[in-house]
């Protein structure tokens, strides 16, 4: 039984999701205390409960303490069972984070799976749908499995109501090296609005262009969705390279000026573009578990986040597999699986 203090390291829901995935993969039970102890509102929220319910369902696990507000959980895994599953967060809680919890275990299953996940697709503090589709899953496919994802309906903060469908065809994970992003191919800035004034999109695009001034004019475009799919707003910035596509986003909320949202997202993209790193700040921690399961591989990235350091620690505790951190001649950080 592995015992985890949920207030250490990143101190948020990532520790729950990674621990559940690793438990299913290794067969090692765990107890976590002080859940989300590093957050203003500690304890499990609806999206964390859904993520762990999903893990328990696909892995025949017994989970004691699985409830909204709970600060302690004991998780005893069973056998991973592929199939067709529907998981509903019931709020704007992130569909991407539910997927993150169950994806790697199902990549190792003996048969394909189909997941329907309902909740938020464009919310706060979580990868938007476009990041999962264009940034993360193409790398998983390079490692062997086939994973397709479809957005049936967007779900914006704070209402939610989104729906994604994910088809997973397992295959042995092979080690790959992601050291260079390759030649630049295209850039785009899409300001999505649904049930909010269209000038919000226009203001975001103007603000983003001021930061990303070398992007062509036709790269910036608004997207108006039907009002009944909102209210909601998201700015999606994408830079496509030969070997990777980086997606940065800003999510609208009451009280947040459109200009500030766009400036923050654009500055993050500009920061990534000034480096030569393969993985941006939000991709780096998501690559760790599949790379560890492949028992090899390496990638370059920007400054290491606390999420990444926490994930490294959890992976080593469950699997014994660590990571070597170095620096390349061009100044980027390299992370290599030390199997």
> Given 48, 122, 180, 307, which residue is catalytic?
307
Please write down the long-range contacts of 308-311, taking CB distance under 8 Å and 24 or more positions apart.
Answer: 308/284, 308/335, 309/9, 309/10, 310/8, 310/9, 310/10, 310/11, 310/14, 310/15, 310/18, 310/285, 311/10, 311/14, 311/18, 311/285
Strand order in the sheet with 184-194: 220-225, 184-194, 232-241, 245-251
To the query of whether residue 307 is one of the catalytic residues in this protein, the response is yes
Q: Is cis: bond before 135, omega within 30 of 0? A: no
Strand 333-338 and strand 298-301: the pairing is antiparallel
C-alpha–C-alpha distance, residues 307 and 96, integer Å: 16
Which 8-state DSSP code applies to residue 27?
A: -
Return the H-helix or E-strand segment holding 152.
Answer: strand 146-153
For the chain, first and last CA: distance in Å? 22
Q: Would you mind telling me the total number of residues written for the chain in this entry?
A: 339
Catalytic residues, which ones? 307
């Amino acid at each position: 039984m592995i015992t985890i203090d949920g207030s250490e390291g990143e101190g948020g829901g990532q520790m729950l999701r990674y621990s559940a995935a690793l438990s299913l993969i290794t067969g090692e039970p765990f107890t976590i205390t002080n859940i989300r102890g590093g957050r203003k509102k500690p304890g499990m929220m609806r999206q964390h409960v859904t993520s762990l319910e999903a893990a328990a369902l696909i892995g025949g696990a017994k989970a004691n303490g699985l409830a909204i507000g709970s600060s302690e959980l004991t998780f005893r895994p069973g056998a991973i069972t592929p199939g067709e599953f529907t998981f509903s967060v019931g709020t704007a809680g992130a569909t991407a984070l539910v997927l993150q919890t169950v994806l790697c275990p199902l990549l190792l299953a003996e048969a394909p799976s189909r997941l329907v996940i309902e909740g938020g697709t464009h919310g706060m503090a979580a990868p938007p749908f476009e990041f999962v589709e264009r940034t993360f899953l193409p790398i998983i496919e390079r490692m062997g499995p086939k994973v397709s994802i479809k957005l049936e309906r967007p779900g914006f903060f704070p209402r939610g109501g989104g729906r994604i469908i994910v088809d997973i065809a397992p295959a042995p994970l092979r080690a790959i090296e992601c050291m260079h992003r390759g030649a630049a191919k295209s850039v785009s800035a899409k300001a999505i609005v649904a049930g909010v004034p269209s000038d919000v999109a226009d203001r975001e695009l103007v603000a983003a262009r001021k930061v990303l001034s070398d992007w062509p004019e036709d790269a910036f475009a608004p997207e108006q969705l039907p009002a009944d799919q909102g209210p909601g707003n998201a700015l999606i910035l994408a830079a496509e390279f030969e070997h990777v596509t980086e997606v940065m986003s800003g999510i609208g909320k009451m009280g947040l000026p459109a200009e500030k949202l766009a400036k923050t997202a654009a500055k993050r993209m500009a920061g990534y573009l000034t480096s030569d790193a393969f993985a941006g700040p939000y991709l780096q921690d998501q690559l760790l578990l599949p790379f560890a399961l492949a028992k090899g591989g390496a990638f370059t990235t920007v400054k290491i986040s606390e999420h990444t350091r926490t994930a490294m620690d959890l992976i080593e505790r469950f699997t014994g597999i660590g990571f070597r951190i170095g620096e390349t001649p061009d100044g980027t950080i390299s992370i290599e699986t030390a199997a």
